[in-house]
Amino acid sequence: MRAWVHLVLARLPGQLQIDTAGVVAAVSIDGVAAGLAPGILAVPAGERTVSLRAPRYVDYATTLTIQGAGARQDLHVRLQSAWGTLTVTAVPQGAHVSVDGVDSGAAPVSVAAPSGVRRIRIAASGWKTWESSVVLKGGQTLAVGPVTLGQPDAHLTVRSVPAGADVTIAGTHRGHTPLTVELPAGIAYPVVLSLPGYATWTRELFATAGSNLSAEARLAAVLARVKVSGEPADAELLVDGAPRGQTPQSLLLPAVEHRIEVRKAGFIPFEAVLTPVPELERAVQYHLTPSDRGRALLESAPLIRSQIGYVLRLVPPGAFQMGSERREQGRRPNEGLRTVTLQRPFYIGVLPVTNGDFRRFRPEHASGYIDRQSIDLDSQPVTQVSWEDAAEFCNWLSHQDGLPPAYERSGTGLALARPVTRGYRLPTEAEWEYAARYGPSGQSYRFAWGDSPPVPLGVGNLAGGETGSSLPATLPGYRDDYPVVSPVGKFHPTALGLHDMSGNVSQWVNDYYESFVDPAPMTDPLGPAQGTLHVVRGASWKTASVSELRLAWRDTASGPEPTVGFRLARYADDPQ
């Protein structure tokens, strides 16, 4: 009698020799610690992400196909220094020098420091203290001085055409043009002007004691092409409220946010908001719904705009599986699976609420700084707000738009009014997850980009390699341009057209938090009737775990945090 044995042979690991020019670095393979470089490591065959991390150097990551079967492959890496050197000289000699508040000795002195914006202070008894910021690049030796204490500051006036550009001097945001500032004398200052839709303008100016400096910038517009077409043709096209002829049209528009409207008699108007991208033609496709069919829902993708310009998108009714299955990788016990039906149409914010939006309500609010990088720009999402702060903003905006408030005073705090009005409010937890998961043809996604890793570039502002060593962990192989909070809307939208649902800031939602989730089916759930903490949904700029990028991930917060903001929602109709 014959017996057959089926064997499956697996390739042996390959030998990867990593050359780092003598810099000792920790090596990870697919996010798992694998040893130290320089040296030879055994690496399993197949496509692998190789990451290197060394103190005072920028993290490095690359993807390699490992041949296996003992074959040797070479990887030559020259790590980029994340530190530089400041050489500080001053008059009088022996003046006390500190960098970022840390005592650094007496001038003249050389100080090793991380790259970025550094704050230098030079002081001596009987002399006026000198204090300023400088921008230090990795691997650079930056000479500061000789600084003569007691000299008068230089006066700098910055103007731009058009006005209103953000002004950053030595890495610190100083305001908007036109602007006059005083600069401690004795060093050169990089001056950067930026305005959405215009090319960045940069100059370096040396601050001579008592001098009057002037920077006059004529900003160059950055244009991008937008094509508008759809059914029916020959409809009226408006851009930012101004007529632009009949559809179809191909337009060159400044690379800033625009409101596109398409109108035709007998049809419900179409409206969309988009930001053109240079060197990439953006297409706007519309399909007008005949007005005798009533209000358009998903087919015409209607938007509404509040009095302060905040835009919300209509979400059509539907049902979905909320939470995660037990076998889902990375699942947490608080993600109970249940069927949720949303019958009452609602709108949800296309973007998180920004600092600029929030300061319309509370002018004194400041989101602050992280590692001397501002998270307080008008275009960045508001952070350092509590759930109550967010609810109060909702009621304020409802008043501005003539809507009934969604929240009412209950004891010492606010609670959602029952029945729920059409006023602005935080999305319910079910609404947030439904909108985040929403895909074409009834699909419901696990992640913002689809159903499985890897994490594609451009999906959101996450903890990538750009953060250097400022965070305890990063997503292997991922990089974006923002080590902290980014302006809103800089990354790819969801299938529903929503930005920053997975990255930048996590978001308060309406519901009280409970770790146990009732598995019974629910319709238009509003969450527990009472509690002490509220739910937070979505990843943030600190997220370094793929499991926390799942749209079922949920957490809570006890108060204001630099990683938590919010977006708005409201029902489309009055309660029945």
User: Among residues 22, 45, 76, which one ends one of the domains?
Assistant: 76
Q: What angle do CA 347, 385, 534 make, to 5 degrees?
A: 65
Asked if the structure places residue 556 within a domain, the reply is no
Q: For residue 72, what are its two tokens?
A: 């040797």
What is the pLDDT, as a whole number, of residue 255? 87
CA distance 370 to 274: 30
Asked if the structure places residue 485 within a domain, the reply is no
What is the pLDDT, as a whole number, of residue 516? 84
User: Among residues 193, 218, 243, which one ends one of the domains?
Assistant: 218
Residue with more model confidence, 47 or 568: 568
Residue with more model confidence, 125 or 319: 125
DSSP reduced 3-state for 473 = coil
CA distance 401 to 335: 36
> Mean pLDDT in the chain?
90
Helix (H) or strand (E) holding 321: strand 318-322
What is the pLDDT, as a whole number, of residue 341? 83
User: Among residues 148, 166, 189, which one ends one of the domains?
Assistant: 148
DSSP reduced 3-state for 162 = coil
User: Based on the domain organization, do 200 and 231 belong to the same domain?
Assistant: no
Asked if the structure places residue 492 within a domain, the reply is no
DSSP reduced 3-state for 373 = strand
Asked if the structure places residue 241 within a domain, the reply is yes
User: Based on the domain organization, do 133 and 201 belong to the same domain?
Assistant: no
Query: Given pLDDT bands bounded at 50, 70 and 90, which one contains residue 269?
Result: confident
Asked if the structure places residue 271 within a domain, the reply is yes
User: Based on the domain organization, do 206 and 243 belong to the same domain?
Assistant: no
User: Based on the domain organization, do 144 and 93 belong to the same domain?
Assistant: yes
What is the pLDDT, as a whole number, of residue 301? 46
Asked if the structure places residue 171 within a domain, the reply is yes
Residues sharing a CB contact under 8 Å with residue 508, sequence separation 6 or more, in sequence order: 385, 387, 390, 426, 534, 535, 536, 557, 564, 565, 566
| Buried residues in 151-160 as b, exposed as e (16+ CB within 10 A) | bebbebebbb
Across the range 155-168, mean pLDDT stands at 95
What is the pLDDT, as a whole number, of residue 293? 36
Query: Given pLDDT bands bounded at 50, 70 and 90, which one contains residue 292?
Result: very low
**Contact status, residue 118 vs residue 134, Cβ threshold 8 Å:** yes
Q: What is the pLDDT of residues 439-456, one digit of tens each?
A: 876 678 889 988 888 899
Q: In degrees rounded to 5, what are phi and psi of residue 261?
A: -125, 140
Lowest mean pLDDT among 4-18, 454-468, 481-495, 538-552: 4-18
Residue 402 reports pLDDT greater than 60 = yes
Percent of the chain topping pLDDT 90: 65
Residue 297 reports pLDDT greater than 50 = no
Percent of the chain topping pLDDT 70: 95
What is the pLDDT, as a whole number, of residue 312? 95
Sign of the Cα torsion 477, 373, 88, 214 reads: positive
- If one counts the domains in the chain, the total is 4
Residues sharing a CB contact under 8 Å with residue 576, sequence separation 6 or more, in sequence order: none
CA distance 541 to 551: 15
CA distance 130 to 147: 8
Residue 52 reports pLDDT greater than 70 = yes
User: Based on the domain organization, do 236 and 286 belong to the same domain?
Assistant: yes
Q: For residue 319, what are its two tokens?
A: 């049902």
The CATH number covering residue 103 comes to: 2.60.40.10
CA distance 103 to 90: 16
Range list of H helices, 293-371: 355-361
Sign of the Cα torsion 35, 38, 42, 46 reads: positive
Asked if the structure places residue 306 within a domain, the reply is no
**Contact status, residue 282 vs residue 229, Cβ threshold 8 Å:** no
What is the pLDDT, as a whole number, of residue 327? 77
Q: For residue 435, what is the DSSP state? A: H
**Contact status, residue 334 vs residue 559, Cβ threshold 8 Å:** no
Q: Which domain holds residue 274?
A: 223-301
Residue 337 reports pLDDT greater than 80 = yes
Provide the β-strand partners of residue 228. Answer: 249, 284
User: Based on the domain organization, do 200 and 259 belong to the same domain?
Assistant: no
Of 422, 417, 421, 418, the C-alpha closest to 407 is 417
User: Based on the domain organization, do 142 and 159 belong to the same domain?
Assistant: no
User: Based on the domain organization, do 72 and 94 belong to the same domain?
Assistant: no
Asked if the structure places residue 383 within a domain, the reply is no
What is the pLDDT, as a whole number, of residue 2? 60
Q: What is the pLDDT of residues 88-111, one digit of tens each?
A: 999 999 999 999 999 999 999 999
**Contact status, residue 498 vs residue 303, Cβ threshold 8 Å:** no
Residue 14 reports pLDDT greater than 70 = yes
CA distance 231 to 247: 9
Largest CA distance in the chain: 104
Residue with more model confidence, 20 or 523: 20
Lowest mean pLDDT among 148-162, 297-311, 336-350: 297-311
User: Based on the domain organization, do 232 and 283 belong to the same domain?
Assistant: yes
Strands 141-148 and 258-263: unpaired
Query: Given pLDDT bands bounded at 50, 70 and 90, which one contains residue 300?
Result: very low
Query: Given pLDDT bands bounded at 50, 70 and 90, which one contains residue 429?
Result: very high
Sheet containing 72-76, strands listed edge to edge, beginning at the edge strand earlier in sequence:
39-43, 14-19, 72-76
User: Based on the domain organization, do 232 and 295 belong to the same domain?
Assistant: yes
Query: Given pLDDT bands bounded at 50, 70 and 90, which one contains residue 39?
Result: very high
